Amino acid sequence: MADKEKTADATDKIVAGAAKLQLDEATGEMVSKSELKKRLQKRQKKEAEAKRKAEAAAVPSKPAATSTPKAEEPVNTTPPPTIFEVGFLDDVYKERPMESVVTRFPPEPNGYLHIGHAKAISINFGFAKFHGGKCNLRFDDTNPEAEEEKYFTAIEEMVAWLGFKPDKVTYSSDNFDELYLMAEKLISKGRAYVCYCTDVEINEQRGGKDRGARSQCKHSTQSVEYNLAEFRAMRDGKYKPREACLRMLQDITDGNPQMWDLIAYRILDQAHHRTGDKWKIYPTYDFTHCICDSFEGITHSLCTTEFIQSRVSYEWLNKQLEVYEPMQREYGRLSLTGTMLSKRKIAKLVNEGIVRGWDDPRLYTLIGIKRRGVPPGAILEFVSELGVTTSPSIVQITRFEQTIRRYLERTVPRLMLVLDPVRVVIEDAEELDLDIPFSPKFKTMGNHTVRFTKTVYIERTDFREVDSPDYFRLAPGKSVGLLQVPYPVKAVSFTKDGDKVTEIKAVFDKSGKKPKTYIHWVPEGSRGVEVRLHNPLFKSEKPESAEGGFLNDLSENSEEIYPNAMIESGFEEVKARAPWPEAAGEDGKGKGGLESVRFQAMRVAYMTVDSVDSTDDKIVLNRIVSLKEDEGKSK
C-alpha cells in the first residue's frame, strides 16, 4: 500500500506541473495560463502594429523636398565567435602561430573518462581542427599495473562519439626504446642519477609534510659511469620494485616542487599489455609526457591548470635533451558539483552495488552520460557556452541540464508516454486515425499516424475520484481535453478494485466549451515499456564533505521505476529513424546506438532507450532530463 502511494505521489509530481497547462493553438504547445496570456497579448500587439502599418501604407505620403533616403541597415548574420577565435585559446595560438598545428589528447588508460575529459577532448581536437591542423589520440600507457584493454576501447569510443577522429592513435609505449635512450643521454649529461632512497627519505629531502628545509639526495653525486651501470642493472632486473629508481638532477633549491629531482624511471614487476615482459623499468609521466610531445611534433600542448607547475620541468627536460620543444599552456578544468568524478569513489559505488556499473545513468562518466541519452552535440554546446579560461569551471548539474534541455527542445520529436496507466472507455467514441506532428515547431520532423480507439489510457494522477475547484483534469462530471483529439471527454463513472481505480467510463463533451487543460493519452494496444526516472545520486552539492563520508550523502530516491508504462505507436518510427539528432559522432542514420532514440514524452520528460537492458521484447526508457528545472533547486 505504501509503495503504491509513493508511486502515485511520484507520478503526480511529474505531471502536476503540467496539470494547469493550456494548449497554445498557434504552436501546438502546452503552456501555463500566464504564459499563454503573454503570448496572446504579444500576438494581438503584433497584429495591431501590422494593421497600423498597412493603413499608413495605403495613404500617399507627401514627398520630402530636401530629405535624403535613409539607407537600410544590413542585417548582421555573422555567427558569434567560437572559443577558438577569442579569449584564452586565441591568445595561445597568437603566442605561437603555426601553419601546421598539431595537438594531442593524452589520457591514461586506467579508467573511464568523465565529463571533465569532454572539455579536454573538445579543446584539443577543436583547436587543431579550427586551425586546419591535426590532433593525435595518445594513450599514456606507462603504468601496466593500472591499465586494462577495456579502458583503451572505451576511450576511443568516447572520442568518436563526440564526433572527433584522431589523425593518429599512438601509445607512449611505442617509444619505450627511444625513451630509454633519452634516459641514458640525461645520465651522460650528468642530469640524472640512480637513487636508492625510500619514499620517506625522498619526502624528507623535499621538506617533509611541513615543507621545511630541503636537502640534496646523497646519491646525486655519483659518477656518470656508475649511474649508467646501475641504470642498466635496473633494466636487467637486479633490483626489486622500490629498491632503486632513476631521478632527474634538477634544482632542490627551486621554489617549484616540480624541480625537486623528479623520478624518471621506476621498477615495476608487471608485464605490459603491449610490450609483454620486455621491460622491468617504466618511465614516469613527468619524464614521458614532454618527450612524447616532442617526438610527435606537438605544437601546442594544452592541459589543465593542475599541470601549470609541471610546465617548468616540461621545458627543462626538453632543453636538457636538446630535442624539439612544444609549447605547453594550461586552461581551467571542468567539474560538476553534486556528484563524484573520482575513479576511486566511483569504483566504491560500483563494487558495493549502489549503481549498476560505470555506465549507470546517474554517474557523470561519459559512458554513463551516453547511456542516459545525453546527445554528444549537447555536451559540445555546454563546453562552448562555458568558454575557456585559466579559471576552473565548477558548475552545478542543473546548469548542465539546462543546456541539454535547450538542445533537445529543438532536435527531438514528441510522443505520448503514460507512466502509470488507467483505462478510460469513451462510450460514444468511434475509432479514427489522427495525423499528429512529431513537433509543432519543426515541421521538417514530419507527421505520424496514431489510431484513436474507444478505449484509451491516461495517467492515473490525471483522474480524481472527488473533484475540487482548483483541479482541471478528469473527475466525475468534469471534462478535460485529450491532446490532438477533436472533442474533450467527460468522466461519468469509475470502478475500483480495493483502493485502486481500474476503469473510468467517459463520453465526448460536444458542448463546444473549450477545456481548461489538455492531457496526454495512448490508445489501446500500445506498447508496454519500463521507464526509469533518474534523479541526483546525492542529496547535497558537496557529497565528499558529508559527515561520515560521501556514502552518507546518497539519496534514497535517485531512481524511480515504472514497470507498466505505455507508449504510443509513433515510437516505432522514431526508433527506426534514429539517431535524434544527427550530429557529432551520431551524424548519420544508424550511427548511434539505442541511446540515440531520443524524444520528448509530452508532459513527462525527455526520454531515451536504455542501450544495456533493452531487448526486442522489452524496451527500457531512461529519463534524460525533466521538461523544466525542478522547483526549489538553485539555478
* Distance (Å) of CA 146 to CA 110, 114, 511, 571: 5, 17, 72, 43
In three-state form (DSSP H/G/I as H, E/B as E, the rest C), the secondary structure along 545-575 is HCCCCHHHHECCCCEEEEEEEEECCHHHHHH
DSSP H helices, 65-148, are 87-95, 115-130
380/118 Cα distance (integer angstroms): 8
Candidate list 108, 201, 409, 503, residue with the active-site label:
108
Compute how many other C-beta atoms are within 10 angstroms of the C-beta atom of residue 580.
23
- Catalytic choice (343, 399, 539, 577): 343
Reading the block at residue 617, the C-alpha cell is 521484447
3-state secondary structure 578-608: CCCCCECCECCCCCCCHHHCEEEECCCEEEE
Sheet order of strands, 605-609 included: 414-415, 598-601, 605-609, 619-626, 527-534, 559-567, 417-418
Active-site entry in 333, 460, 473, 623: 333
Treating both helix axes as pointing N-terminal to C-terminal, what angle do 397-409 and 376-386 enclose, rounded to 10 degrees? 120
Strand, coil or helix: what is 136?
A: strand
Active site residue 333: yes
Residue 303's nearest CA partner among 83, 85, 88, 87 is 88
> What is the identity of the amino acid at 118?
A
CA 498, CA 491: separation in Å to the nearest integer?
20
DSSP count for the chain of H helices, then E strands? 15, 29
DSSP code at position 373: T
C-alpha–C-alpha distance, residues 271 and 275, integer Å: 8
Query: Is 451 one of the catalytic residues?
Result: no
- Sign of torsion, CA 230 234 240 241? positive
Active site residues: 108, 333, 343
